[in-house]
């Protein structure tokens, strides 16, 4: 079964073709260099209009790379929230047009659910089994989710202020390290001592919620008290990163133990952080947990994950609320 999937919830315009919910035949993202080379143009950071300009070429490219035509597609999966309404609408309209034109079902997918399902794209040897804990960390989201079955989620914790990826970006900008902040800090931190400065771990012992705004403020306060030399930056960012990573990992491991769950998965763009990956692996091993991390291309915003989530919704059709409905509207603050 072939699904064409479309994702436009934030900055990326993305389309993919996924077979049987597992095999990614194509995964096109408008910011990909190969896509630019073919179609040209500069993509601004944020603009709903940008989605309109590239949505059709992105879908066309996804079909071409998968070597299929519209006639081969069995269903269309599309992100309908959370995200910017203007951006979501572009993807939704394109998806509706395909569904209507080909008389095939339209499957609506929650963007957060898509991130969780990215873990099913990783399983070459075996299919991920329920229940599992998913740590979803990106520029916009930080959540610990207990996934009990297809479409069955319990949000155990989420950020009460800044997302983890946002804290990385803001601290990097504050220190003049450039954008995006995550990779720069990750790289610099490798040369620093993560125990050099003891930044706070807000809410460490309270439940599964996070608060990262305070860590960011602690960095600002620390820097304002001294004249920062370039040589001190690696220790500073390593200590900051340590505070974030330790909080994320310890709460996730605790959630798995408290809920008696054996599998922990990682999702979202921050999963590219090498310290987070290695620490979660190590702590998981120590506790006898299996830790699964999807390939990076499925961690950042992409449409393959939407195709995967859409497949499981489609085959468990009780999960499809408005099966083949063309009246679907975007929902900006959609929850899991």
Partner 1 sequence: MTNEGILYHLKSTEETFALGKKLGVVLEANDIIALHGDLGAGKTTLTQGIARGLDVKDFVASPTFIIINEYAGRLPLFHIDLYRLNQEVEIENLGITEYFQRGGVCVIEWAEKLGELKPAQMHEISLKILGDNEREICVSSDLTARLTV
Residue 294 contacts partner 1 per CB under 8 A:
no
Stretch that binds partner 1, among 72-80, 137-145, 282-290, 317-325 (CB under 8 A): 137-145
Torsion angle in degrees (nearest 10) through CA of 269, 274, 277, 281:
170
287, 165 in Cβ contact below 8 A?
Answer: no
Residue 46 touches partner 1, criterion: CB under 8 A: yes
Respond yes or no on whether the N-terminal peptide bond of residue 180 is cis (omega within 30° of 0).
yes
From the list 23-31, 124-132, 214-222, 275-283, the region that binds partner 1 by CB under 8 A is 214-222
Report the side by side order of strands in the sheet with 263-267.
152-158, 142-149, 132-137, 263-267, 290-292
Among 37, 42, 44, 231, binds partner 1 (CB under 8 A): 44
Smallest distance from partner 1 to CB 157, Å: 11
Q: Assess 21 for contact with partner 1 (CB under 8 A).
A: no
40-48, 71-79, 93-101, 315-323 -> range binding partner 1 (CB under 8 A)? 40-48
Report the nearest approach of partner 1 to the CB of residue 25 (Å): 30
Kindly state whether residue 139 participates in binding partner 1, applying the rule CB under 8 A.
yes
The maximal CA–CA distance of the chain, rounded, in angstroms, is: 65
Per CB under 8 A, does 163 bind partner 1? yes
115 belongs to the binding site for partner 1 (CB under 8 A) = no
Question: Taking CB under 8 A as the rule, does residue 47 contact partner 1?
Answer: yes
Taking the C-alpha atoms of 208, 114, 25 and 36 in order, what is their torsion angle to the nearest 10 degrees? -90
Question: Is residue 306 a contact partner of residue 6, using CB atoms and an 8 Å limit?
Answer: yes
Structure tokens at 65: 């790379």
Instruction: Based on the shown chain and the rule CB under 8 A, indicate whether residue 174 belongs to the binding site for partner 1.
Output: yes
- The string of DSSP letters for 182-211 reads HHHHHHHHTTS-TTSS----TTTTSSS-B-
Q: Does 323 bind partner 1 (CB under 8 A)?
A: no
**Contact flag: residue 173 with partner 1 (CB under 8 A):** yes
CA–CA dist 199, 222 (Å, integer) = 9
Q: Is the dihedral of CA 297, 298, 300, 303 positive or negative?
A: positive
Among 61, 108, 166, 246, binds partner 1 (CB under 8 A): 166
Q: Smallest distance, Å, CB 64 to partner 1?
A: 29
Rule CB under 8 A: choose which of 65, 150, 160, 323 binds partner 1. 160
Would you tell me which residues interact with partner 1 (CB under 8 A)? 10, 44-49, 82-86, 138-140, 158-163, 165-166, 170, 173-174, 213, 216-217, 219-221, 224, 332-333
């Amino acid at each position: 079964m072939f699904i064409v999937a479309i994702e436009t919830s934030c900055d990326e315009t993305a389309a993919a073709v996924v077979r049987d919910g597992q095999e990614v035949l194509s995964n096109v993202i408008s910011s990909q260099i190969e896509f630019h080379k073919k179609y040209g143009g500069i993509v601004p950071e944020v603009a709903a209009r940008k989605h309109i300009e590239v949505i059709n070429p992105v879908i066309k490219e996804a079909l071409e790379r998968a070597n299929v035509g519209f006639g081969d597609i069995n269903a269309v999966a599309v992100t309908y929230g959370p995200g910017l309404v203007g951006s979501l609408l572009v993807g939704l309209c394109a998806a509706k047009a395909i569904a209507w034109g080909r008389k095939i079902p339209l499957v609506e997918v929650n963007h957060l659910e898509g991130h969780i399902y990215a873990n099913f794209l990783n399983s070459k040897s075996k299919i991920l089994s329920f229940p599992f804990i998913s740590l979803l960390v990106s520029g916009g989201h930080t959540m610990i989710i207990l996934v009990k079955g297809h479409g069955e989620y319990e949000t155990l914790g989420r950020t009460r202020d800044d997302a983890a990826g946002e804290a990385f970006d803001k601290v990097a900008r504050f220190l003049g390290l450039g954008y995006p902040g995550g990779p720069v800090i990750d790289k610099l931190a490798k040369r620093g001592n993560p125990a050099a400065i003891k930044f706070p771990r807000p809410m460490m012992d309270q439940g599964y919620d996070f608060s990262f705004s305070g860590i960011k403020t602690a960095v600002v306060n620390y820097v304002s008290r001294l004249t920062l030399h370039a040589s001190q930056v690696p220790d500073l960012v390593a200590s900051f990163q340590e505070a974030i990573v330790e909080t994320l990992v310890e709460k996730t491991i605790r959630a798995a133990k408290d809920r008696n769950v054996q599998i922990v998965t990682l999702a979202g763009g921050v999963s590219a952080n090498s310290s987070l990956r290695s620490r979660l692996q190590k702590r998981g091993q120590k506790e006898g947990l299996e830790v699964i991390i999807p390939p990076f291309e499925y961690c950042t915003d992409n449409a393959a994950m939407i195709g995967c989530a859409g497949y499981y919704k489609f085959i468990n059709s009780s999960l499809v609320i408005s099966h083949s409905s063309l009246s679907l509207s975007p929902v900006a603050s959609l929850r899991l």
